[in-house]
Amino acid sequence: MRKTMLLLLAAMMLALAACGAKKEALPSPLDYIDSVTGIDLAAETGGLSDLGISEQEVVAQRGEPTFRGTLKGATSWRGEVILDYEDFTYNLNGGQVDGYSLKGDAATARQVKIGDDKSRIEAQYGKDYYVREMDQIRLMGYLDKQNGRVIEFIMENDRATVILVADFAMYES
């Protein structure tokens, strides 16, 4: 049940990131662009050829999703689509993938998984990260300034409970 709630939280955070009011409630990763050096996250594609592809391309590459949902209303002004697979949940805005979250035993391009501790994340991604907090949620993030991509780890007791990857476009208003 807890994992289901965390996955729903991840999907909601990805959806809220696209919402125009996001900066009022929680700083955007883009607010930290001048405070971190940045790293190469081009390989973080979530099992796809790259982010930015269409729903049809996702299905061609991954097959039919186990679940397809559309978020409408207050949290979504662009009609986000969620495609859920066993290992990744993709978020589409404007018909293109602009972010995803990892599930189960899926790993990032640098082989970090849900459940890995902060020292493992630092060993793979470095110590030049930002931290942003919302209520009891603590996010540890890295920016790729050249490729316009962010990876964030939702941390609980110094362990990653959710891993999110998104293009900068998701956070731009």
Q: Which domains does the chain have, with CATH numbers?
A: 2-171 (2.60.460)
Highest mean pLDDT among 34-38, 70-74, 132-136: 34-38
**152 Cβ contact partners less than 8 Å away, ≥ 6 residues apart:** 29, 139, 140, 141, 142, 163, 164, 165
Share of the chain above pLDDT 90, in %: 71
- Mark residue 111 as left, alpha or beta (left: phi above 0; alpha: psi -120 to 50; beta: remaining): left
pTM, 2 dp: 0.85
CA atoms within 13 A on the CB side of 105: 0
